[in-house]
């Protein structure tokens, strides 16, 4: 390649880099508007549309929403890079070890305090109080097995664990901190056999009696659909994954009312309610936006919720 060709190639590369943006964002957001990142899962999309609906109900604006960002890091980069200014849903445990690079902890209040302080100091973003639900790893069994052996907690499995086959997320087997080795150390018992499988398959395996106990996600809609029982993590193996919205201080300054709008959603969705919303969408094949809109209408867009001076609800 001669000198002229090298210069031309460099020029083309610079043009390509300058025009790049995150997938699905189409080159950035309207700086005078509000752009919300949702995600790729049913839960992330429902919550994304809930935030969009709240914003458009209270502010005379057409909010933009991006629902094809498949990881917390992509959502994070969208806000850092200016392609968006509100993340509809972030999880404490994920962001504490991911974006903030800290060790996992099991105290929910401490985890929330750390991400609130960390995101404000490092990223100039406000981490809001939780919606009220957490989507964490959870061991679960059929209602029949729970009734037969009076199973309420993970520790209750110990006496019969040697007779049980467990289906677990493949990646959990090698996870540091809250994976299989940590489970053995924390609960001091093991199952007859442990079968690694894709996380989406464990619910069907349990319902079909191919497994006796499985490790799934605590707000998955199939818990309600299959009438499964989630066992309490009584020894706090799993870090908290409480869900909250996050917004840049820049957009909160541009739209001061956005702060109160997002605070109205504090403790508005329980674990059981999120399971139900996921179930309605996944089982009944209802679009996440329709599920979100119905939820907001049923709750009158939380218009009666007052926000106190400390930033919470009362």
- Tokens for 71, please give them: 């990881």
State pLDDT tens for residues 178-236: 899 999 999 999 999 999 998 889 999 999 999 999 999 999 999 988 999 999 999 99
Choosing from 172, 207, 230, the residue where a domain stops is 230
| Helical pair 42-58 and 288-298, crossing angle rounded to 10 deg | 50
Residue 306 above 90 pLDDT? Answer: no
State pLDDT tens for residues 14-38: 333 333 344 444 434 445 699 999 9
Structural domain count of the chain: 2
Task: Please indicate, yes or no, if residue 66 is contained in any of the structural domains.
Answer: yes
Choosing from 209, 230, 251, the residue where a domain stops is 230
Q: What is the mean pLDDT of residues 129-141?
A: 96
pLDDT band at residue 40 under the 50/70/90 scheme? confident
The CATH number for 171's domain is 3.40.190.120
Q: pLDDT value at position 2?
A: 46
Within this chain, do residues 71 and 198 fall inside the same structural domain, yes or no?
no
State pLDDT tens for residues 154-190: 999 999 999 999 999 898 998 878 899 999 999 999 9
Task: Please indicate, yes or no, if residue 310 is contained in any of the structural domains.
Answer: no
| Helical pair 42-58 and 271-284, crossing angle rounded to 10 deg | 110
**Residue 201's domain spans which residues?**
137-230
Within this chain, do residues 223 and 122 fall inside the same structural domain, yes or no?
no
Choosing from 204, 230, 256, the residue where a domain stops is 230
Within this chain, do residues 197 and 278 fall inside the same structural domain, yes or no?
no
Task: Please indicate, yes or no, if residue 312 is contained in any of the structural domains.
Answer: no
Q: pLDDT value at position 4?
A: 40
Within this chain, do residues 28 and 105 fall inside the same structural domain, yes or no?
yes
Q: pLDDT value at position 310?
A: 58
Within this chain, do residues 226 and 244 fall inside the same structural domain, yes or no?
no
Within this chain, do residues 130 and 141 fall inside the same structural domain, yes or no?
no
With tokens 């994954």, the residue in question is 241
Task: Please indicate, yes or no, if residue 183 is contained in any of the structural domains.
Answer: yes
The CATH number for 43's domain is 3.40.190.10
pTM of the model: 0.81
H/E/C letters for each residue in 124-156?
A: CEEECCCCCCECCEEEEEEHHHHHHHCCCECHH
With tokens 């019969």, the residue in question is 160
Query: What is the C-alpha separation between 290 and 287, in angstroms, rounded?
Result: 5
pLDDT band at residue 39 under the 50/70/90 scheme? confident
Alpha-helical regions (H) of 36-128:
42-58, 72-80, 92-97, 108-123
């Amino acid at each position: 390649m001669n000198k002229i060709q090298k210069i031309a190639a460099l020029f083309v590369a610079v043009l390509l880099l300058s025009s790049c943006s995150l997938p699905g964002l189409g080159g950035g957001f309207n700086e005078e508007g509000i752009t919300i990142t949702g995600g790729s899962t049913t839960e992330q999309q429902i919550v994304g549309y809930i935030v969009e609906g709240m914003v458009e109900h209270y502010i005379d604006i057409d909010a933009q929403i991006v629902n094809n960002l498949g990881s917390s890091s992509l959502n994070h980069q969208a806000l850092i890079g200016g392609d968006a200014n509100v993340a509809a849903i972030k999880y404490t445990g994920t962001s504490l070890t991911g974006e903030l690079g800290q060790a996992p902890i099991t105290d929910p209040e401490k985890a929330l305090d750390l991400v609130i302080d960390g995101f404000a100091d490092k990223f100039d973003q406000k981490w809001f109080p939780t919606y009220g639900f957490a989507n964490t790893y959870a061991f679960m069994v059929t209602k029949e097995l729970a009734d037969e052996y009076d199973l309420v907690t993970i520790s209750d499995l110990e006496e019969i664990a040697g007779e049980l086959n467990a289906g677990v997320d493949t990646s959990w087997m090698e996870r540091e901190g809250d994976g299989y080795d940590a489970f053995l150390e924390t609960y001091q018992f093991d199952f007859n056999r442990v079968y690694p499988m894709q996380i989406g398959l464990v619910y069907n395996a349990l319902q079909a009696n191919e497994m006796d106990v499985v490790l799934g996600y605590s707000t998955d809609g199939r818990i309600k659909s299959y009438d499964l029982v989630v066992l309490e993590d009584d020894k706090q193996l799993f870090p908290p994954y409480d869900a909250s919205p996050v917004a840049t201080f820049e957009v909160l300054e541009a739209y001061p009312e956005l702060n109160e709008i997002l605070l109205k959603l504090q403790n508005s969705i329980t674990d059981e309610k999120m399971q139900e919303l996921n179930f309605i969408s996944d089982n009944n094949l209802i679009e996440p936006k329709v599920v979100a809109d119905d939820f907001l209408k049923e709750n009158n867009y939380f218009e009666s919720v007052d926000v106190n001076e400390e930033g919470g609800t009362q």
